[in-house]
Chain A
Amino acid sequence: MQRMQETDRLNAGEEKLRNLLLLGLAGDEPAYHAFLQELSAHLRAFLRKRLARLPDEVEDLVQESLLAVHNQRHTYDAGQPLTAWIHAIAKYKLIDLLRRRARRDLLTDPLDDELGLASASDAEAADARRDLGKLLTQLPERQRLPIVHMKLEGLSVAETSRLTGMSESAVKVGVHRGLKALAAMIRKDA
């Protein structure tokens, strides 16, 4: 009985999240905002459970996964269970992170990480929260300016175009490519 209630609750949660995403994909911004908001809590719980040994990495990975979901949102098929889609993305980013760490540790001293607990304080400097805002400043102008004006200051495409002297389609492409480049920078730097 209790288990049934729990699946009902999960299904209701999934249904709600799915509706928000579908509205968002159709252009409803407040719904999309609500979707991402709920998704970040869901991702945090999902990743915290799987990264118990690397708690410092959880929030970075939540952010990386959110960016991945956003950049790849066109691959969601309305006929597919939303949780399967989201968990596949989060797991992919999790495995990618573990591989990156393994490669980095191979180049430095593998023993440090084997000892796990002891290295927690040493690792702090290296694992300091990655600042996406800082990474953003490293993007080339044609990507950075559209993102700053449209995504951070909330200006429209037309206003951004007027401010930067870029065409409207160049502004849209700049946002799109900039966010993809941001994901690529995360992949390379960790």
Chain B
Amino acid sequence: MRTDDLVTMLATGAGAVPPHPVARRYVIGLGAGTLGAAVLMAMLLGPRPDLAAAIALPMFWVKTGFVVSFAAASLFPVWRLSRPGASLAWVSSVLGAPVIAIWLLAAVVLIRSDATQREVLFFGSSWNACPFLIAFLSAPVFVAAVWTMKGLAPTRLRLAGGAAGLLSGAVGAMVYSVHCTEMAAPFIAFWYMAGMLIPTAVGALLGPRLLRW
């Protein structure tokens, strides 16, 4: 087939592209992924038993604010990396802001607390399960994020895979925070981050293979 014939073939009957095709795919993909994570959490872990009382505590909202804002922030690089040639300016600031906020809070909490208390603030009672449960809950979101991106056009596959992993980790952490009873900033600043970085690493590793188009 000559190139001119290909051009004619592609143009014939091409029709209009529906409005907001990218946003639509995101809503479908990430909606399904988040729902999957929520169902997994509800079935296998369940919400924390003291949820009704916990929502009266300010620290509950600090924790929720961190996981929600970080999940929202991690949409940004995914959004950018799924379009060819889109600029990555501001990505590190957007991602960095919530992380720096929780780290600062963790540092203040550790500095102002008693030396004997610090170990409890950092390790809590679930440090050895938390990162793995976050990574586990991120799995359905990861599948959805890869599906979403693959239908667009990522051109930097390793970065794009890492971004998809980070987003799924952040949504996994958001869902996990409904189950988790830990409330200390140092715990969240370290073990939640560790949990989110597991799918990030997996995404960066598999990105070139999974996202090729």
Contacts and interface: CB of A to CB of B under 8 A. Distances in A.
Given A80-B83, A96-B212, A37 B153 contact: no
A74 B17 contact: yes
Interface stretch (A3-11, A24-32, A105-113): A24-32
A72 B152 contact: yes
A112 B96 CA distance: 49
Contacts of A26: 16
Contact of B85 (A85, A152, A179): A85
A87 B85 contact: yes
A77 B21 CA distance: 10
A157 B13 contact: yes
* Interface core residue of B5, B82, B213 (most chain A CB under 10 Å): B213
A74 B7 contact: no
Interface string B5-30: 11111111111111001100000000
Given A75-B82, A75-B84, A80-B86, A151 B10 contact: yes
B10 A72 contact: no
* Interface core residue of A26, A62, A80, A88 (most chain B CB under 10 Å): A88
A66 B10 contact: yes
Interface residues of chain B: helix, strand, loop or mixed (majority) = loop
Contacts of A81: 85
Given A85-B85, A187-B212, A154 B12 contact: yes
Interface string A68-80: 1010111111001
A156 B12 CA distance: 10
Contact of B1 (A80, A88, A132, A179): A132
Contacts of B22: 74-75, 77
Given A24-B14, A80-B85, A85-B84, A91 B155 contact: yes
Interface in A31-73: 32-33, 36-37, 40, 59, 62-63, 66-68, 70, 72-73
Interface in B36-68: none
Contacts, number: 107
A110 to B, nearest CB: 22
A89 interface: yes
Interface in B143-186: 152-153, 155
Interface residues of chain A: helix, strand, loop or mixed (majority) = helix
A122 interface: no
A2 to B, nearest CB: 28
B12 to A, nearest CB: 5
Given A85-B85, A132-B1, A73 B17 contact: yes
A127 to B, nearest CB: 16
A17 interface: no
Top 3 nearest A-B pairs by Cβ distance?
Answer: A27-B16, A88-B85, A88-B84
Interface of A: 24-27, 29, 32-33, 36-37, 40, 59, 62-63, 66-68, 70, 72-77, 80-81, 84-89, 91-92, 96, 131-133, 136, 147, 150-152, 154, 156-157, 175, 179, 183, 187
